[in-house]
Amino acid sequence: MQGVAGEGVLIAAGGRAILLQLANPAIGHGVADHSHFAARPLDRLNGTLSYVYATVFGDADLAAAMAARVNHAHVPVHSDGTAPRYNAFTPELQLWVAATLYESATDLHGRLYGPLDEETADAVYREYSRLGTSLQVPAQLWPADRTAFRRYWNDQLALLTTDARTRAVAHDLLHSRTAPLWYRAALPLARLMTAGLLPSHVRVLFDLPWSARHQRRFNRVLAGIRLIYPRLPRRVRHWPKNHYLRALHASLPAPVV
C-alpha cells in the first residue's frame, strides 16, 4: 500500500472524496452545522493528509498522536435537530469517510497506472482499513474483502443525496474566496478533476456542470498526467508525504528522559 498511498498525485482525488462524504446526509448536515472547512479548505486538506500519512507511514506513536488529534477535533461535530442525526464518532459514518478515501485514491491510481495485480490490491485494501479502525470503526465493520467492499460501496452510492445546505458547502469549497491566491488559482483545475472523477449521478446531485466539452478537457488533463507524472523521480512524487511526516514528527513533544 505504501507505494500507492505515498503518491502525491492522489491529492487530486481529495475533492471527490469530500463531496462523496457530503452526499451522505448525516455527514453533510454535520459539516454544514459545525465545520468551517469550506471557508478554510487548507485546514481540512492538511488534517486529512496528516492523518493518512501518519496512519500509513508513521510509527505507532505518530499514528496514535494523529488519531488523538482527529478525535479531539471531532468532539463538537454533530448535526443539530436534523434527520438523520450525525455524530463524528458514529462508526458507520466514519466507515464511509474512510471508504471514500480508499476508493477515491485507488480509483485515481488505477486511471493513471492501470489496475493493480490481485495480491497488491488485496494488500492495499487491508492497509487502508486502518484509516477507519484507527478511529472508531470496529474491525468487523470494515468489509471483509474487496468484493464485500464493492457491494457496500454500491449500496451506499445508491443512498447518497444532497439538499440546499450540503450543495452550498460543496459550492463554497470549490469556489473559495478566502483561501490563499495560489489555491484559488488552482480551483478551476480542481473543479474539473473533482467533477470528472465523481460518479455521474453524484455529479448531478451537486449540480456540477458537465458536458462533452468538459469530458474532453478532463480526458486531456488525465492523459497529460498519465504521460508525465509516472516518469517523475520517486522523491518528487512522494514529496508531500515526506513533507507532512517531517512536520508531524517535529510537532510531537520531545520524549521525557
- Determine the pLDDT at residue 254: 57
CA distance 237 to 241: 9
- Determine the pLDDT at residue 256: 41
Q: Per-residue pLDDT for the chain (257 aa), expressed as one digit of tens each?
A: 557 889 999 999 999 999 999 999 999 988 887 766 666 777 878 888 888 998 888 888 888 888 778 766 655 555 554 555 555 568 899 999 999 999 999 999 999 999 999 999 999 998 888 888 887 788 899 999 999 999 999 999 999 999 999 999 999 999 988 888 998 899 999 999 999 999 999 999 999 999 999 999 999 999 999 999 999 999 999 999 999 999 988 887 655 44
Longest dimension (CA), the chain: 63
Asked if the bond preceding 84 is cis, omega within 30° of 0, the reply is yes
**Cell for 45?**
486538506
- 4: amino acid identity, one letter: V
User: What global pTM score does this model have?
Assistant: 0.89
Find how far residue 112's CA is from the centre of its chain.
17
**Cell for 254?**
520531545
| Coil, strand or helix at 255 | coil
CA distances from 21 to 120, 121, 162, 212 (A): 26, 23, 11, 26
Quickly list H helices, the chain: 2-5, 14-22, 25-34, 41-57, 60-74, 91-113, 118-128, 130-133, 146-159, 164-174, 181-197, 200-205, 212-228, 234-237, 239-251
| Coil, strand or helix at 78 | strand
DSSP structural state of residue 254: P
> Are the C-beta atoms of 49 and 240 separated by less than 8 Å?
yes
- Determine the pLDDT at residue 180: 87
- Determine the pLDDT at residue 234: 94
CA distance 11 to 104: 10
- Determine the pLDDT at residue 77: 53
**Cell for 193?**
478533476
